[in-house]
Structure 1
């Protein structure tokens, strides 16, 4: 049957600038591109490229071009983002630390220009702000980024160990592995090896998938072997501190295994590597620290100034050293106790914040990295605000991640509840007297429990999907809380479960009401249906304007609740964009609804004008025009076919 479409006389092919602000549209698209693509790529390279780029200058340029500068551009495009970011104590602590460090240039005897000295602190600030934007708008990318970077680091490290083993000779004393890529120092290399050593250890402690836990064990051993091959001792202390921290912040049955592994590992290391640990003595650290404390005592409160000259002449070394080989002493020397206070505050607050939110594995990982950095910094470092290099693994990257996670936690973009593991007996008890609401060929999908709550089941996928990192049950829970924070009704989450067969489930309180499809079927009056479709068009435009892209959007997933408002259900595959949806996504959303015959007849044939009138209340005219053109083209196609 042919479809006849009658359009108003208004010309929808007017110049784009007359219908929609091209500048505003371009700003939104640029901001989205930075947050959704450039920042994830930049963070991935920041974590991994030292392993394969030939020198640090390329590492710097990649970070500047793909993370730091894009972050600055994003904030210039949308300055209101700073209001949220400046509510985070870690960012305020960093600003206080940077501000005081710059102030000390007044008495700092340095020959460098103030503008040149300001660049490294600004790049560190961009790390904090960029991570916050990334986690706020694309938090689901974090775990794949970490995993991919860790796999690359592990594979290259395995090759490094193979080369080192072929070159190693017991006749050459003090032979230490450096590694390929931009690494040029065994101690600095150990920071990178230890960083991913802690990643695999944390993954083994927090992952609920047996296959991941089994894969994490050999990866940890590879990175730990590289740590030993560098001959550096402080990273071993740092790993021990991280293991102790993990055993308490996780505190599960694996904690006992970790403590046992820690004890056994200590025995093995002392038995096999006691010469490396004890025969080298203190490496003149005690002499250096004594000299540093004497200098600090000259200006204990205000310090000698950011980038003031520093030199230690230890007779036994034979050359002058320019670092106190302790991060804390370096801070005290350059910026004094006044600068030391915000520096310590950031670390204490980072650990405290991670402990409060320890139900989220990302907080556990970031805090384990921070504890590792605190341990490794006991005998390493001196520059307080360095350019991107191995020292960033120890302090700035963990703190930036904790700050970003804390911001997202407040904005409800991260999971903030534990996932309960149920055995078969508990699962059977949970489903006692449950009624199947929805099922497919593999079994039940949604069940109503005896107490009236609903349990939605998500089966484990045998092939790799993004659900391997972000289970769909957890996405459902996070999406629900984010929608509610936006003022959009969604099911209230009660619990999250992981079952013995690898599937997961979310328990929620259903919304009171009927689906729009049910309501439309029961309506006999065309006028009532027209009014309802117009209201739905306005609601759809509201979703698009807020950046909500609901791939499964159709009238069966939208509820008309008892209070007359709309709500969303079945929201596991819902995505949030930083800006209002671009035109292509709006059109794709409507194409999905056109796949359902009843929805298509009611929305795009009988009540099309009502749908567009409602949509036009919230949406820009160019979006309304594009949707009209899309539907018109569909009508012409059908007319040709019929």
Structure 2
């Protein structure tokens, strides 16, 4: 009993981390620099809400590493970080505390990779709302920054963001990060009215980027725009390319003095000096955390970084460390290109391209603590790794959404049989070839259905159920309709709904046996973490081979662990809303239902459901 309670507590803690803590931690990691007073609190929030919870989750369920460690990108990071740790042997870190301190950043970065993988695996529908919420926070903070900066503008004044930002260049990384978000959202959104949000937001973030006076982020923006034009080639790509040309002309006309007046900022001289040092230890470098001093002629103040990410990696860990570092970026871009039908891959890879461009004149610690540098490299890489893992696990959409014109839909509808409809029109059509087309109405912009269309949820749920060994409709295609609705085309399963079978069944003994089998199937779903909100006998299919299958699965959710008691009770409570289902399952064949359920479910779960049914029966009689 004590062991069972301990195991139950571990499951609930794991669920809480994956479903709640990690989304909140990621949201704050992306946005809290805009309003926190300093980076120290930023570090603590990341450690407390993301890094440490991820470590606890992995300790609670180490089998999660089986899928994660198959990802080449994560293996590349571990090789890079491992070599960097080895380089501490010949580095000139002064004391033991310094060595121990050097071990922490790569561990926190590893937790970023692992945490993003767990988040997308178990709460993938939260990712786009988290990005959007972080972008809105950044947009509001940026408006405030511009409001405070514009009255004091002068040609030689560069804007520094409020919050934890302390210099213009680091501020530009954060502004550029969300500038890329709004740009990518405008390129990939399926609804035209999203452009009325994305375009002004992009302009505001780009204005803040210009106000920092940093020039390399402008180069990075251009690189990201070119990548976007290629990776999601459509009619908007031509508009983006035209905007790129026109924007370049406008920026050079209005801000040429600001851009050109500072010359090269001695970047070329610094790079040459760094290369001269690298030539002395090209293969193994000087070691992580080794001191670096670059003294420009005629300047009293020395500089302590090469102002280039690639040169920094070569200096500290040499060519042997540079190879896995470069591999991570090349692999990430190639993987994103292969899976570009998924908008999240487009967004993460565009962030990475922006980071590569911004890193041309940025440098410092190659494995830094959480700060603005994470926007440029580590957050995009962690997201791409997590997306690749979960695409392989079928938790993400991996097929394109095709446009279905009004004329094409009318043609399909004219030759189809209406299976289900409501006051707004047909909801399910049987096409001439026997396939089903299920329609989902357009959702309001502030609902979860606007971020994750129900047609895509239907498709992903079908793939995941089949991977778990639970039969579900085979998905053929996804569509975006001209009126804003979405649709999924699928191949129906052979069989009848359980409600139809129960209605036509005359023998009580056969019905009792069927209910007992359904009870076992219900326990199987709950044990695998499947929470089907719309579960009733009309959405369970008895196939021709005698197996049970699920249909109409758009609102199905798969939890990381077996369902807790409250969700199991809610599932049965929904089934009791239907008079026939209630009579067959909870009145006439209740012992058989509980007997079947008890074959897989725990005794506390069976007992709680028995009490719930008895309570509801008493309420209905009174």
Map 1:140-539 to 2 at 5 A: 140-170=125-155, 174-462=156-444, 464-539=446-521
CA distance in 2 between partners of 1:444 and 1:557 (Å): 18
Are 1:132 and 2:125 matched, yes or no? no
Counterpart contact for 2:173–2:373, Cα < 8 Å? yes
SS in 1 for 2:414: coil
- For residue 12 of structure 2, what is the aligned residue in structure 1? 29
- For residue 38 of structure 2, what is the aligned residue in structure 1? 55
2:23 to 30, 34, 40: 40
Deviation at 1:275, TM superposition (A): 1.3
Cα separation, partners in 2 of 1:278 and 1:316, compared to 1, 3 Å: farther
Counterpart contact for 2:518–2:596, Cα < 8 Å? yes
- For residue 119 of structure 1, what is the aligned residue in structure 2? 104
CA distance in 1 between partners of 2:154 and 2:238 (Å): 38
Counterpart contact for 1:329–1:382, Cα < 8 Å? no
Counterpart contact for 2:428–2:436, Cα < 8 Å? yes
SS in 1 for 2:538: coil
Deviation at 1:112, TM superposition (A): 4.3
Deviation at 1:440, TM superposition (A): 1.2
Structure 1, unpaired ranges of 5+ = 1-16
- For residue 89 of structure 1, what is the aligned residue in structure 2? 72
**TM-score computed with the length of structure 1 as normaliser:** 0.96
CA distance in 2 between partners of 1:436 and 1:464 (Å): 30
- For residue 12 of structure 1, what is the aligned residue in structure 2? none
Structure 2, unpaired ranges of 5+ = none
SS in 1 for 2:426: strand
- For residue 10 of structure 1, what is the aligned residue in structure 2? none
2:81 to 98, 106, 111: 98
Deviation at 1:463, TM superposition (A): 6.3
- For residue 4 of structure 1, what is the aligned residue in structure 2? none
CA distance in 2 between partners of 1:160 and 1:635 (Å): 61
CA distance in 1 between partners of 2:298 and 2:374 (Å): 30
Are 1:570 and 2:552 matched, yes or no? yes
Counterpart contact for 2:87–2:288, Cα < 8 Å? yes
CA distance in 2 between partners of 1:464 and 1:233 (Å): 36
- For residue 601 of structure 1, what is the aligned residue in structure 2? 583
- For residue 588 of structure 1, what is the aligned residue in structure 2? 570
Counterpart contact for 2:444–2:450, Cα < 8 Å? no
CA distance in 2 between partners of 1:614 and 1:598 (Å): 20
SS in 1 for 2:217: helix
SS in 1 for 2:285: coil
Tell me the number of residue pairs that the alignment of Structure 1 and Structure 2 aligns.
Answer: 620
SS in 2 for 1:439: strand
SS in 1 for 2:607: helix
Deviation at 1:48, TM superposition (A): 0.2
- For residue 59 of structure 2, what is the aligned residue in structure 1? 76
Q: Deviations over 1:218-246 (max 9, x none)?
A: 10000000000000000000000000000
TM-align CA RMSD: 1.0
Q: Deviations over 1:353-389 (max 9, x none)?
A: 1001000000000000000000000011121000000
**Higher RCO (C-alpha under 8 Å, 6+ residues apart):** 1
CA distance in 2 between partners of 1:545 and 1:39 (Å): 23
Cα separation, partners in 2 of 1:526 and 1:316, compared to 1, 3 Å: farther
SS in 2 for 1:560: strand
CA distance in 1 between partners of 2:453 and 2:49 (Å): 29
CA distance in 1 between partners of 2:500 and 2:300 (Å): 85
- For residue 6 of structure 1, what is the aligned residue in structure 2? none
SS in 1 for 2:166: coil
**TM-score computed with the length of structure 2 as normaliser:** 0.99
CA distance in 2 between partners of 1:471 and 1:564 (Å): 32
CA distance in 2 between partners of 1:595 and 1:210 (Å): 39
Q: Deviations over 1:391-435 (max 9, x none)?
A: 000000000000000011000000001111122112112223100
- For residue 636 of structure 1, what is the aligned residue in structure 2? 618
CA distance in 2 between partners of 1:559 and 1:132 (Å): 33
Counterpart contact for 2:34–2:163, Cα < 8 Å? yes
CA distance in 2 between partners of 1:538 and 1:340 (Å): 55
CA distance in 2 between partners of 1:257 and 1:350 (Å): 27
Cα separation, partners in 2 of 1:220 and 1:33, compared to 1, 3 Å: same
CA distance in 2 between partners of 1:622 and 1:476 (Å): 32
CA distance in 1 between partners of 2:617 and 2:32 (Å): 52
CA distance in 1 between partners of 2:434 and 2:619 (Å): 46
SS in 2 for 1:21: helix
Deviation at 1:461, TM superposition (A): 2.6
CA distance in 2 between partners of 1:102 and 1:237 (Å): 33
Q: Deviations over 1:64-93 (max 9, x none)?
A: 000000000000010111111101111100
CA distance in 1 between partners of 2:198 and 2:620 (Å): 55
